[in-house]
Amino acid sequence: LWWESRGGRIRLPEHVSDEKYRDSSKHGEPGITFGRQIGAYPILVGVPYAIPLETGSNILVTGHGMRSISGIECDLDINFATKSQLQALPGIGDKASWKIISNRARRANKNRGSFVSVEEAFSEAGVTMPPLASEVFVTMQ
């Protein structure tokens, strides 16, 4: 997909000209980002977090509407995933996302390093791993 607008479905001139919309440090922040695949009939795709515009991603479809689909990016590092990114996967709610993030912070405070697997991140947090988690999250050591 090619990410083209944030906060609304209409692509505005500032989405192309203003660098803040392409700032990679904003990746994962709350908000909705819209994109379209390249092809003959580009369907609208929304994700519930910020993605730098003018970039591309592979996504996993998590839902659909009349003329659009919702999804989550693939290959998100579980060691850096934000609350919004975690919650974009069906089966991970507010409490589960905070448990994973809190456990990740405790590990860092104890100098235990990053998670070595997605399964470890969920099991150490005491959270049931949703079936699609291994399709979306990775560990990049």
Give the tens place of pLDDT for each residue, 83-130. 999 999 999 999 999 999 999 999 999 999 899 999 999 999 999 999
Classified as helix, coil or strand, 120 is helix
Q: How far is CA 48 from CA 30, 82, 84, in A?
A: 7, 11, 7
Which pLDDT value is given to residue 141? Answer: 67
Identity of residue 71: G
The mean predicted confidence, pLDDT, of the chain is 90
The tokens describing 138, both together, are: 């990775």
Q: Where are the domains of the chain?
A: 2-73, 76-129
Residue 39 confidence (pLDDT) above 80 = no
The tokens describing 123, both together, are: 């099991």
| Cβ neighbour number for residue 124 with a 10 Å cutoff | 16
